[in-house]
Amino acid sequence: MPTALVTGATGCVGSALVLRLAGDGFHVRILRRATSDTGILGGVTTEEFVGDICDDAALRRAAEGCDVVFHTAALVSFARGVRDEQRRVNVLGTRSVVRACLAAGVPTLVHTSSVTTVGFPSPGEFADEDTPVDRRHAEGYKLTKILAEDEVQEGVVRGLRGVIVNPSVIMGERDIRFHAGQLIRDVKKGRIPFTIDGGMNIVYAGDVAKGMLLAAEKGRTGERYILGGENLTHREILMTTARLVHGRKPIFKLPLPLLRTLGRVVESVSGILGITPLLTADLAAIGGRYNWYSSDKAVRELGYSARSFDATVLATYRWYHENGYL
């Protein structure tokens, strides 16, 4: 029975991955913080190691004897107030995972990055793994994910078989931190009366988990693979979601300059109140872009496939409804 270690197992992607690994006959280990609630895993049997993502000793113990390590742990936020902790978790944490894999002789590391490390596509086009990113203007979450990839590539230079996957915006069951899933709750309650120019790519968490296993099996060392779903405009996303969850459709389009002003105001007020901002200046700054991506490389080399946006929304909505998260 192969053994796999998953970091970030109580997150949306990590939990989807744990369930898939268990179903595929893996002995699953997880590294979790002492305060993490594993109830989200639904009773799946795992071997637990308690420790921080930067705890080299705990990581080494957890990685010892593993056939593959899946690193999904990350602090996903576009708020400026968490940047120091974000760098610690996303960059230094990845460095610790790489060191542990090398020290324990782990055959394969699959690192979960993000499409934020890929450059923005030209108007009317899709970005791919070779679209250059401008590091000079990268900051916050984007910068930490770029630097985390650098840590993996450094491990590759030192002999590690490291493969990187770059999911787009992830939606799925067990997203109790409400990243993309917040869209469903907001549309259901009529909290988004407007739409904006631009668009994005949304992928189902279960498809990302499937893609990660394919990357472990077939991915080329040091390569990146975009794991995406459908490319849609923001209007299409909101209108489709409203139809599927019986929510409220947007009724007007918000000009981008007003969105950016709103992002600065909301983030500032949220900081004063000590709450997580629903909109930040960084998010508003990229709001009008068509952040569309091609998964052709993953399809061609890994055999990756993704379900429709409709199926993704419905699966997430049903789980929220059944578990009382609406």
DSSP string, 260-326: HHHHHHHHHHHHHHTS--SS-HHHHHTTTSEE-B--HHHHHHH------HHHHHHHHHHHHHHTT--
Domain ranges of the chain: 3-174+201-231+292-308
Cα 25 from Cα 14, distance rounded (Å)? 17
Tell me which residues of the chain have a pLDDT lower than 50.
Answer: none
130: left (phi over 0), alpha (psi -120 to 50) or beta: alpha
Cα 133 from Cα 44, distance rounded (Å)? 39
Q: Which long-range contacts (CB under 8 A, 24 or more apart) does 278-281 make?
A: 278/182, 280/78, 280/79, 280/80, 281/80
Q: Are 324 and 248 in contact (CB under 8 A)?
A: no
For the entire predicted model, the pTM comes to 0.94
pLDDT of residue 178: 86
What fold is seen in the domain 3-174+201-231+292-308?
Rossmann fold (3.40.50)
If residue 21 lies in a helix (H) or strand (E), which one and from where to where? Answer: helix 12-23
Q: Are 316 and 175 in contact (CB under 8 A)?
A: yes
Phi/psi of residue 7, each to 5°?
Answer: -90, 150
Residue 212: strand, helix, or coil: helix
If residue 47 lies in a helix (H) or strand (E), which one and from where to where? Answer: strand 47-50
Tokens of 198: 């631009």
pLDDT of residue 201: 97
